Each structure stands twice: as C-alpha cells, then as structure tokens.
Amino acid sequence: MNDIETIVKTLQKSKRILFVTGAGMSADSGIPTYRGVGGLYNNDKLLEGKTIEEIMSGEMIRSNPRLVWECLQKNSAFFGEALPNRGHEIIAEMEKYFTVCVCTQNVDGFHSIAGSTNVIELHGTMRVLRCMNCDYRSNVIDIANLSIPPKCEKCKKIMRPDVVFFNEMLCYKKMSAFGEEMACGFDMVFVIGTSSRFVYIVSPIYKLYEQQAFITEINPEVTDVSDLANVHLKSGASKSLQDIWEAYLHKIV
C-alpha cells in the first residue's frame, strides 16, 4: 500500500478533519513562500534602510503607517491578480463528505474564496481593512491601488490591514475558536506548506499526535512536525491534494 492509498483508507474511516496551512498552500496561486505574514513580503528586501521585521511591526503601523503601506504595496502587486488554486478548492469540496476545520497562517483569504466555511485565519486577512481609531472594518479586493495610507470612511482616521504584524499578539477570539475545535478532536490532520516553527502550530499537532489522530504532512521540506507525521508527501499542495482526492472519490463511487 503506497502513501496515497494509506491516506485514502484513513479518510474512509474519518469524520472530522483539520487542515493547518501555511504559505506553501498558496504557492500554486503565485503567492511567494517568503518568510513573513502569509508570504506577503520578502525578508531580504529593505525600505529606507529598515528590515522587514522593523517595517511590518505593530510599532511602525502606529508611528509611520505610510511606510508600512508603501512596503505592502511594493511587495504585494501580485495580490489582486492571484486566485485560489485547486488545492483550496479540494479542501472546500471535502466539506460535502467530512466535518472540516481550516486553520491557516495565510492572509490571502483564498480558503474562504474557494468555498471553505469553517476557516480560522490566525494571522488575519489582507481582504479586510480595520480603522486604528474606531475599529470600523471594510472589505478590499486589491491593496495595490489604494491611496496611502487609506482613511476610514467613518472617522477619517488611518486604516490598517486586519493582519497580525511582527510583535503583535494573535487574536484571542481566533485562538479561542481554534481551541474549541481542538476540544472536539480530529480523526485526521493535514499539515500543508507550513514550516511549523511556532508553538501555536506545533503544540496542537503534537496534541493530536498524542490522541492518535492520523497526521499527513504535505511539504517539500522537512519541518519541526515531520517526525510526528504518519505520512509525509514531499510535493506541492495542489498536486498532493489532487492525487488524494481523485483516489478517494474513485473508492467511494
């Protein structure tokens, strides 16, 4: 029995499935897998002599929002043109057969756009702007053409992306929602395209490992959770998910 067959056999016995996704999930959509929030910017690029960590920080968005927005626009010209890939679509389709939770580090919004209904965006989303004064929120399709810094239509103060910058805390409500999902348990977990370096990613996966959930890692690289995986597919997200899904549908026909 090969790895795909092993995964499919386990799927046939499963009800609740968790997907933990990182930047590699959106690689086939043309979103670069750079280090940083959801792959939106490259750690090696500098603006005004500052590192990305300095610019994309909670301190900088408060003290110099124009610089932050200039950097975002410079490094996310691809954002408005990119679309969800087949991998995102397959995860959404799986809701017809399973109870699915998606916990993503990505800020591109592709899981929801593809049709997934239970998505926890741990790092927020670039599809929403939030007022730094009154907390008013508005949707945005493409940040490339925004006047910078964008102003709130309610109070005229500065808007920011509704994402977690460096040195900012994760959203308590989102972490609580993830905790509630974890409390219900999962039969399977797919860890896709994430380096799994953060404790809030590693810890839940380790907990599921202890609970004997079946863990599939999809990542060309070895990560901090690779040793916990029952199966490690060292290929791209879309191809691996397509292979799994085709094999599963063939079995249940």
Domains of the chain: which residue ranges?
Answer: 3-29+83-123+170-252, 41-75+128-163
Check if CATH label 3.30.1600.10 holds for domain 41-75+128-163. yes
What does the pLDDT read at residue 50?
A: 84
In the chain, what is the straight-line distance between the N-terminal and C-terminal CA atoms, in Å? 20
Each residue of 18-27: pLDDT tens digit?
Answer: 999 999 999 9
Range 241-251 average pLDDT: 98
* Mean per-residue pLDDT of the chain: 92
Binding residue per annotation — 155? yes
The confidence band for 33, taking pLDDT boundaries of 50, 70 and 90, is low
pLDDT in tens, 51-109: 888 999 999 999 999 999 998 888 765 566 789 999 999 999 999 999 999 999 999 99
Annotated ligand binding at 71? The verdict is no
Mean pLDDT of 159-184: 96
Across the beta sheet with 137-139, the strand order is 137-139, 124-131, 159-163
Lowest mean pLDDT among 29-43, 95-109, 173-187, 217-231: 29-43
Cβ 252 vs Cβ 48: under 8 Å: no
Give the position of tokens 């056999």: 9
pTM of the entire predicted model: 0.92
- Residue 41 confidence (pLDDT) above 80: no
Q: Is 101 annotated as a binding residue?
A: no
248: Cα separation from own chain's centroid:
24
pLDDT of residue 93: 99
Distances (CA, A) of 110 to 31, 80, 115: 11, 12, 9
Q: Which residues are tagged catalytic?
A: 123
pLDDT surpassing 70 at residue 176 = yes
3 within 8 A of 86, measured Cβ to Cβ: no
Q: Could you tell me which residues are beta bridge partners of residue 159?
A: 131
In this predicted structure, what is the pLDDT of residue 36? Answer: 45
**Rounded Cα gap, residues 209 and 20, in angstroms:** 14
User: Does CATH number 3.40.309.10 belong to domain 3-29+83-123+170-252?
Assistant: no
DSSP-H helix ranges across the chain: 3-11, 52-55, 58-63, 65-75, 86-93, 110-114, 172-184, 199-210, 237-252
pLDDT over 60 (residue 154): yes
Residue 38: pLDDT band (50, 70, 90) is very low
pLDDT for the residue 79: 66
Residue 56 has φ and ψ, to the nearest 5°, of: -85, 60
Q: Name, in order, each residue with C-beta under 8 angstroms of 94's C-beta and a sequence gap of 6 or more.
A: 17, 100, 245
pLDDT at 71: 86
**pLDDT over 90, % of the chain:** 79
